Every structure is written in C-alpha cells, then in structure tokens.
Homo-oligomer: A and B are copies of this chain.
Amino acid sequence: MEEYLAKRQNLIQEDRARRVDQNAVYRSSPDELRADELIRRIRKDEGESIWGKQQLHGSEQLFPGMEFLTSREKIVGTKVYDILSHMPKGGLLHLHLGMVVQVDKVLRMGLKYPAMHVRTSALLTADNLTTVLPIFRALPQDKWTTHASLTDPLYVPDSWVPIQRARKNFSEALGGPEGFDRWVTDWMVINPSEAYGTHNSPDKIWSKFYATSMVSQGLIFFLPLWEEYVREVFLSSLEDGISYTEPRCMFGEKFMIGADGKKNVPHHEWLRVYDRVIASVKTTLRNPSVFLGSKLIYSVVRNLSLEDMEWHLDNCLALKREFPHLIAGFDLVGHEDSLKPLIYYAEPFLRFLEKQKELGVHVPFIFHAGETLGDGSAADMNLYDAILLGTKRIGHGFSLIKHPRLMELCKEQKICVEVCPISNEILRYCGSMPMHPLPALMNQGVHVALCSDDPAVFGNMGLSFDFFQIFVASDIHGLGTLRELVWDSIRYSGLDEDEKGHAFAMLEGQWNTFVKFILDKYSKDTARGQP
C-alpha cells in the first residue's frame, strides 16, 4: 500500500508538472506557504458553510463557481473575496474600453452635460420599456431641443430630448427620475433573467450585449465625458489593485463628438487626451509608482470591407508612429460566430506585417480568437490564423483546449491567453465556472492572463470577481497560482522591458503586503477552527 501511495503521489506530480505555477523558478517564502494553507482552508470551509449542498437559494442549488449574476451578492460577503480584493492584480489585458465604468456612474456623467440628448424609436410605455432602448448623443448648441419628455403622449419618436429633462419629466407611472435611471442602466447591463432565462445561448445573449454597447456608446463618445470616463477607468482599476490596463479601443468611427457637439475630433486627439489623463492621474496619486499607465489596442469590428480594413491598418501604423508608447497592438472585435473570420482579412494583415518591417515599427496583432463553442467552425479556425499571423496574445481562446498543436505553439512562442471566465459564463459559453476549460488549459502549461472583458455590462468590476470564480471552482489553485497569474499579466503585457522591470519590483512589494494582510487578518480567525 505504501508503494501504491508513493506511485500515486508521483503520478499526480507528473500530471501537474506542466502547470504554469509548477514551472516557476520562484520558490514560495515560508509566509507564502502559511498564507497558501490559510486560503485553502478558508475556501474549503466556505465551500461548505456558504456554497454547500444545504445552502439553498429558493429552489436553487448553490455551489462554488455558480452563475455569477445570481451569486454576486453572496460572493461579496465571503472571506475569499475579501482576501482577493486585497490582492495586487498587476495588469488587466483584455478589457473593452467602452464597457469598464459602472453604468450608474456613466449615466451620472452624462446627466451633467446640457448638450447630451436622448431619443427613442417609440413613445415609452410600461409595456415597451424592455424592448425600446435609449439612444444618446451630444448635440451642437444650435441643435439643442426643448422637448420635455420621452414619456409624454405628444413625444415624436426619434426626436431628441435633453437628457436632464428626459430624466426629470420621466412619467411617474414609469417610476419618475429613478425609473429613468433604472430604464437606462437596465439597458446597459445583462441581467440574470436574460443570461439564464430568456437569452440562454451565446447567439441570443450577444444580441442583448450589442444593445448595451449601443446605449453606452452614445454617452461615452463625447470628448469631455470621455476624458472623465477614462480617468474613472484608471481610478477604479487602481482601487481593485490593477496597476496597468491595456484596453481595446474602438477606432471604427473616424471622429468623436467634441465639446461643441460637433463630430470632428480625430483619432490623434483621442490619444492626446488619453495621454493627458494618464499623466494627470499620476500627479493625483499619493503613491504614483503603483500606476503603470495604460496602452491601447487599436480595434475595429470584424465586419469591415477589405478596403476599410486596409485604411484602418494604415491609420493604426500612423498613430503608432505618433504615439509609440500608447498603441500596444491591433485587433478585431465582435461576435466571432456570426461576423467575418480572420482568414477573410489575411491579405491586408500580411501587408500590414510587411509595412511594419519597412517602417521599422512594431504593432503586434492581439487577436480575439476561438471565442466559440464551435468545433472546426470558422470562429474556431480563427485560432490557426491568429497564431500564424503572429498574435502576441489570444483574446479568449475558449476553444483552444481542442487544439493540441496550437497549445504547444502557444508555449513555444510565448503566446498568452487572455481568459475572461465571467464573460464566458454570462455569454453562455459555459454554464458555470466548473465547466470552464481554464483548469485544462493551465494543466497543459499554457500561460494565462485573467481578464474581465466588459465589467460594466457583467458587473465583474475590477478583477477580484474573476479571480474569485476561478479560485473557488478548483481544489488545485493556490496562492502560487494566483501569483503566477498576476506576474503573467505583466510578463505578457505591452509594457517595454524597463517598464516591466519597474512593475515587477513594485509588485514584489505589494505582494508581500498582501501576504502579510492574509496572515494578520486570518491566521487567528481559522486557528479557532482547528483541533
């Protein structure tokens, strides 16, 4: 029997030897080992006391890693969440810039501007609140209106109403001003009844997802608000221990709406503002060294014509030359299952790579690929093209686990996968966290950066929720796993080598504080539970 147990231990080690958190040269400190034991014990305790079989929520069975939208409130009350929310997160590498800030804050920003207007395609009634969405837009002063309300029987569909009036005069029957806020913000998030009820499949939930983006875009796409918004992206990320962000920014529109309400602000002006906000946030922080700045991934929707794609690739190169420190890569976004596959754009992409050589600039592709349940479908095949085109990282790579050779290439070519667990679950690629392929990917030794994707829409603000979901759905992940994920988020970022050097030094300090926090706050706490 002893012999058997020894063989067993060996086999387990062999099987886990490829794991990213096993390969690390890094050796845990005694404090880390104690903290690791602690958080594992707390996870186990809460697995029974909070997520155990006996803990029913109505008729619903609770379990660790269950559907996020129904368990969010419960998560916030756990010790594991408390610990993870104190963890330094490093970088956040997969994030859609227009979907980061809490929707009520965005609405409040919009309400400050007299230029901001709203319209609907029909008179709002109690019956159509969930089918008629608000369209926002900042208008030039000569187009400002004096229409009183969206809910007045005299409202002419598609006519603009000043946002402040629309809110103030929102009919009492629909909840008054608070009803307006509820209506707008409901259109900017995905609700549990949609994700797990009415829209319970990727195709259907994507339709609601597109709607949220249409609503928020009208507010954000207005330079004065955009500047505030970007600042909030950085500040709220810092609040959750995120030192660096690398958001996808949509450059599909050639002009943003300026302070004068005219749609005439060109791309390079967006970048100037972005740069300015980074600098200004640095000056306001008590400890500016924890803020490593931000770079953008130039993104367009994956349905452009070949000519338009060519234009954007050239434009991206031009911006890169003007703002070398701000452009981290190029990507296509949108529903992979229904829009154009990467192979469709192979020729312009190949020319893009050629031109970079000629110009001596480097803008890596950082492609979304394999965000799909398909097996051999066009979206699944995107993984081949992403890798052949030299993608620096893979966005989602949900179907990567199906591809043994591609996983090897990811390891050989140091391609990291940006895994967005909560996004995948809410967009119905998996039913809950225990069904997610992340553990399989990690056991294969593929490097992963954990990301939140669209936190404003999903409610997974920061990164603590995503870390929570993957941590409680595994008995294997420990403190070493978390550390490796955090370090990888810097290793595989678009920061240059100097910046990374600074980042690691800074992280080291933050991490020690974090470990001390766990030991100080929780070692007494669980000692009580011991024999």
Interface residues in chain A, defined as those with a beta carbon under 8 Å from any beta carbon in chain B:
1, 4, 7-8, 11-12, 14-15, 17-18, 53, 59, 61, 63, 198, 200-201, 203-204, 343, 346-347, 350, 373-377, 380-381, 384-385, 387-388, 401-406, 428-432, 434-435, 437, 439-440, 443-445, 473-477
- List chain B residues, Cβ under 8 A from A7: 388
Task: Tell me whether A405 and B4 are in contact (CB under 8 A).
Answer: no
Q: A375-B475, A430-B431 are in contact. Are A403 and B443 (CB under 8 A)?
A: yes
Q: A12-B384, A201-B63, A434-B375 are in contact. Are A439 and B475 (CB under 8 A)?
A: no
Task: Tell me whether B374 and A59 are in contact (CB under 8 A).
Answer: no
- List chain B residues, Cβ under 8 A from A443: 402-404
Task: Tell me whether A385 and B439 are in contact (CB under 8 A).
Answer: no
Q: A63-B203, A443-B403 are in contact. Are A384 and B15 (CB under 8 A)?
A: yes
CB of A360, distance to nearest CB on chain B (Å) = 23
- List chain B residues, Cβ under 8 A from A439: 375, 402
When all copies of this chain in the complex are counted, the total is 2
Cross-chain pairs A/B with CB under 8 angstroms, 8 sampled: A4-B346, A8-B388, A11-B388, A15-B384, A59-B198, A61-B200, A404-B443, A404-B444
Bound complex: CA A460 to CA B233 (Å)? 51
Task: Tell me whether A435 and B431 are in contact (CB under 8 A).
Answer: yes
- List chain B residues, Cβ under 8 A from A445: 404
CB of A305, distance to nearest CB on chain B (Å) = 18
- List chain B residues, Cβ under 8 A from A474: 375-376
Choose among A17, A61, A387 the residue with the greatest number of B CB atoms under 10 Å from its CB: A61
- List chain B residues, Cβ under 8 A from A200: 61
Task: Tell me whether A475 and B376 are in contact (CB under 8 A).
Answer: yes
CB of A198, distance to nearest CB on chain B (Å) = 6
Choose among A1, A11, A14 the residue with the greatest number of B CB atoms under 10 Å from its CB: A11
Task: Tell me whether B475 and A61 are in contact (CB under 8 A).
Answer: no
Bound complex: CA A299 to CA B500 (Å)? 58
- List chain B residues, Cβ under 8 A from A376: 474-476
- List chain B residues, Cβ under 8 A from A11: 384, 387-388, 405-406
User: Which single member of B1, B198, B437, B475 contacts A350 (CB below 8 Å)?
Assistant: B1
- List chain B residues, Cβ under 8 A from A63: 201, 203
- List chain B residues, Cβ under 8 A from A201: 61, 63
Instruction: Report, nearest first, the 10 A-B pairs whose CB atoms are least far apart.
Output: A373-B434, A376-B475, A376-B476, A15-B405, A431-B431, A375-B474, A375-B439, A61-B201, A402-B440, A14-B405
Task: Tell me whether A473 and B387 are in contact (CB under 8 A).
Answer: no
Choose among A63, A350, A443 the residue with the greatest number of B CB atoms under 10 Å from its CB: A443
Q: In the complex, given contacts A373-B434, A401-B440, A431-B435, what are 17 additional A-B residue pairs having Cβ atoms less than 8 angstroms apart? A: A1-B346, A1-B347, A7-B388, A8-B343, A8-B385, A11-B406, A12-B384, A15-B384, A15-B405, A63-B201, A375-B434, A375-B439, A375-B475, A375-B476, A375-B477, A431-B431, A440-B440
- List chain B residues, Cβ under 8 A from A429: 435
